[in-house]
Amino acid sequence: AAVQEGGFAFEAVRAPKQIKATELADALRELFADPSVIKIAHNLKYDAQVLQQHGLTIAPYDDTMLMSYVMGAGLHGHGLDELAMRYFQHKMISFDEVTGTGKARITFDRVPLDKALAYAAEDADFALRLWLTLKPRLVAEHLVNVYERLERPLIPVVAAMETAGVLVDRAVLKAQSGELAKRLQILEADIHVLAGRSFNVGSPKQLGEVLFDEMGIAGGAKGKTGAYSTSHDVLEPLAEAGNEMVTKVLDWRGLSKLKSTYTDALPEQISPKTGRVHTSFSLVGAATGRLSSNDPNLQNIPIRTEEGRAIRRAFIAAEGCELLSVDYSQIELRLAAEAAGIEALIEAFHEGQDIHALTASQVFNVPMAEMTSEIRRRAKAINFGIIYGISGFGLAKQLGISNSEAASFIRAYLDRFHELRDWMESTKEFARAHGYVETMFGRRVHVQSINDKNGARRSGAERQAINAPLQGTAADIMKRAMIRMPDALEGAGLNAKLLLQVHDELVFEVPVAEIDASAELIKRVMQDAPLPTLTLRVPLKAEAGHAKNWAEAH
């Protein structure tokens, strides 16, 4: 431990031969709960989960990893090793140095006490040094509210979500794995027929040789290694141009990834203790403030494909419960209307109009009564594309139209909703001047290449500058909802348990008898999340669905 002026930084190390875990917990209990002593850790979520297993809770606390994230999102990493070097030019003892690597690696409880102590004490020491350095900077940069209202209070919510885990039906995964294996076998056979020989479809080197040398497909380019690139960016345009071979290769890759990442891997990731899959949510995973998920990544299961939905069917509720999925409807589009002050769209959202049909009508001068699904589809692509800074080329590719036609669509859209064009230009100007953009709650998202001489990098940064305030504000709103959710549910006497967050969606496990009451309360908490800090002119809308499995609930 390291102590300085009321601060207490800690790193938990077990040494059962020296003192029993129960005795240590009893000795620390009063200190960890003492309201006059701030407990400081780097990645407190992990430490809190470990201590919770021993019946210890921590309050009050600070997390130097989150402090760093709030000030430097998009600039650098936030691991303790990197920050110790960045701020103090100190190289930390690595985990590998104390536990070894490969077959020689030992578990931490077998590390000699002197080595374990040096490793843990250094962590505590530099967590405290970081706190003393970063705390005044948070104040100076006016980021205290972002840290104290959006980041720090989210720690126990996410820790509880990870601990809860989600039930997975092995039988559903096994059946889907078998189905994917059959489809992969058929695709592979088709690919071999088109190639005129057998080869390893999963080998980029072999695939490049077959596509560009043997089959003579145009568009191949060799990298520094002398091998052809077969990345998605290289192959996708060929597939869109109608090349059957490349289309089948991309289909094969997509199914192969689903099989290896989910249907085959998930059963191995079920905890023998709980019978559930426990993902890890990173609180510093994205520059915009979004959470990220890993081991396994449960935020990346496709929702729009039948294969992805089949995998989601494997995520189920416990006996007597259902999964309740509640997500924000078109939140980034609503926030774009808010940020730019687009009166026509704000009014349309208030009236509950079909926003894509409305924009199609206004941009393409088509009466609502004569609206076709194709015209609406084009408007929808522009609506969502614009807030991601889509180019004429990108829209053309998405809609299967010419670049000039796509560019004219974007011009017509921005002419009709000129407030959005003005907001986009002013946002880019702010980013060029300051190197960052802000969400409506004051979160900063750094945009490093906004003044880059390289046109491609600069264009990418400009797209990021436009989308980050919207995606970031949506992430902030979701965090506020998550932070308020435990007290709201407990206050209403409801037993809904938060299991997953997938950006704009929350997934709960809820007793069947409480579904309706839980859905109404959760929607209300989500819709009111910006208040009282932020009063939006545009209404937020949360939609709920429930079922025994995740696919049918969403």
Please write the tens of the pLDDT for every residue from 340-379.
999 999 999 999 999 999 999 988 888 988 889 999 999 9
Which range is least confidently modeled, 209-218, 391-400, 522-531?
391-400
What distance in Å separates the CA atoms of residue 390 and residue 392, rounded to the nearest whole number?
7
pLDDT above 60 (res 496): yes
Torsion of CA 462, 463, 464, 468, to 10 degrees: 110
Segment 408-455, tens digit of pLDDT? 999 999 999 999 999 999 999 999 999 999 999 999 999 999 999 999
Percent of the chain with pLDDT over 70: 97
d(CA 53, CA 159): 12
CATH number among 3.40.640.10, 3.10.129.10, 1.10.150.120, 1.10.150.20, domain 333-473: 1.10.150.20
Confirm whether pTM is higher than 0.75: yes
Please check the confidence at residue 9 and state whether its pLDDT lies above 60.
no
> Domain-by-domain residue ranges, the chain?
2-164, 167-277, 292-330+475-553, 333-473
| CB 313, CB 536: distance < 8 Å | no
Q: What is the mean pLDDT of the chain?
A: 93
Question: What is the rounded average pLDDT of the residues 399-404?
Answer: 88
Copy the structure tokens of residue 152: 């720090």
Q: What is the pLDDT of residue 237?
A: 86
**Eight-class DSSP state of 8:** E
Task: Assign 298 a pLDDT band (cuts: 50, 70, 90).
Answer: very high
Specify the pLDDT at position 24: 87
pLDDT of residue 535: 97
Quick check: 139 and 255 in contact, CB under 8 A?
no
In this prediction, residue 1 carries a pLDDT of 61
If one compares 2 and 211, the residue with the highest pLDDT of the two is 211
Look at residue 304 in the predicted model and tell me its pLDDT.
85
Asked if residue 12 has pLDDT above 80, the reply is no
Answer yes or no: is pLDDT of 464 > 60. Answer: yes
158, pLDDT greater than 70: yes
Pick from 193, 201, 187: which is nearest to 235 by CA? 201
Residues 438 and 150: their CA atoms lie apart, in Å, by 14
- What percent of the chain stands above pLDDT 90? 82
Whether 463 shows a pLDDT value over 80: the answer reads yes
- Per residue in 70-120, pLDDT (tens digit) is 999 989 999 999 999 999 999 999 999 999 999 999 998 888 988 988 999
Q: What is the pLDDT of residue 16?
A: 58
Q: What integer pLDDT is reported at residue 242 of this predicted model?
A: 87
- Residue the block writes with tokens 């843990």: 120
Give the residue with greater pLDDT, 371 vs 154.
154
* Of residues 19 and 409, more confidently modeled: 409
pLDDT of residue 14: 58
Kindly indicate the confidence band of residue 391, based on its pLDDT and cuts at 50, 70 and 90: confident
Instruction: Tell me the average pLDDT across 180-193.
Output: 98
Q: Decide: residue 444, CB within 10 A, 0-12 exposed, 13-18 middle, 19+ buried.
A: buried
Residue 390 scores a pLDDT above 80: yes
User: What integer pLDDT is reported at residue 310 of this predicted model?
Assistant: 93
Q: 292-330+475-553: which CATH topology? A: Alpha-Beta Plaits (3.30.70)
What CATH class has 167-277?
mainly alpha
- Contacts of residue 383, defined as CB under 8 A and 6 or more positions apart, other chains included, come to 333, 355, 356, 359
Q: Is the pLDDT of residue 19 over 80?
A: no
Q: Which two tokens stand for residue 522?
A: 């959760």
- Are 262 and 300 in contact, with CB atoms under 8 Å apart? no
- CATH code given to domain 2-164: 3.30.420.10
**Predicted pLDDT at 401:** 87
